[in-house]
Amino acid sequence: MVMQLRKARITDVKGVHKLLMNTKADEGLVLPRSYNQLYSHLRDFFVVANEDDNEILACCALAICWENLAEVRSLVVASELRGQGMGRKLIDACLSDALTLGIYRVFALTNTQSFFLKMGFTEVSKDSLPQKVWSDCLNCPRFPDCDEVAMLMEL
């Protein structure tokens, strides 16, 4: 199997949707994303694809929130491939993208603080993030009883 990390393509939307829905959304660890949301935000996504059959094995998005602030979101690695460094590579791609765009503050809302701590993020109060960040929370099945932790990296 030949795997490639790259920016998402229009032909990847169904594979990203399947990965998000089957792998993590059912567990409540990522917000479900509709096809419309994925098509609208396709440019935010990086994927790891099996180049032999174009199966999407992992994905992550960098969403711009505000001036000098972006969110790493929708980080999912297929269960059979976890622990092989794909998550780290996807986060690195997002951080590189943020730097290219001139964004120097990147945050994540997560239940897996240990992973983000290893990546160099630090835990911050959710109140330190602008209100605009919370617009997606209205669609979360856990709203208003959020148990996620805000993690921030200053680049």
Domain boundaries defined on the chain: 3-154
Q: What confidence score (pLDDT) does residue 111 get?
A: 87
Residue 32, pLDDT > 80, answer no
Structural class in CATH, domain 3-154 = alpha beta
Residue 126, pLDDT > 80, answer yes
Cβ 15 vs Cβ 22: under 8 Å: no
Residue 21: band (very low, low, confident or very high) from pLDDT cuts 50, 70, 90:
confident
The DSSP letter of residue 13 is H
- List, for residues 38-69, the tens digit of each pLDDT value: 999 999 999 999 989 999 999 999 999 988 99
Residue 25, pLDDT > 60, answer no
Percent of the chain with pLDDT over 70: 86
- Sheet of 55-66, strands arranged across: 3-7, 45-50, 55-66, 69-77, 105-110, 149-154, 122-124
Residue that wins the pLDDT comparison between 1 and 107: 107
> What are the angstrom distances between the C-alpha of 38 and each of 2, 9, 87, 114?
25, 11, 19, 28
Parallel, antiparallel, or unpaired for β 105-110 and 69-77? parallel
* CA-wise closest residue to 121 among 97, 142, 146, 152: 152
Q: What confidence score (pLDDT) does residue 127 get?
A: 82
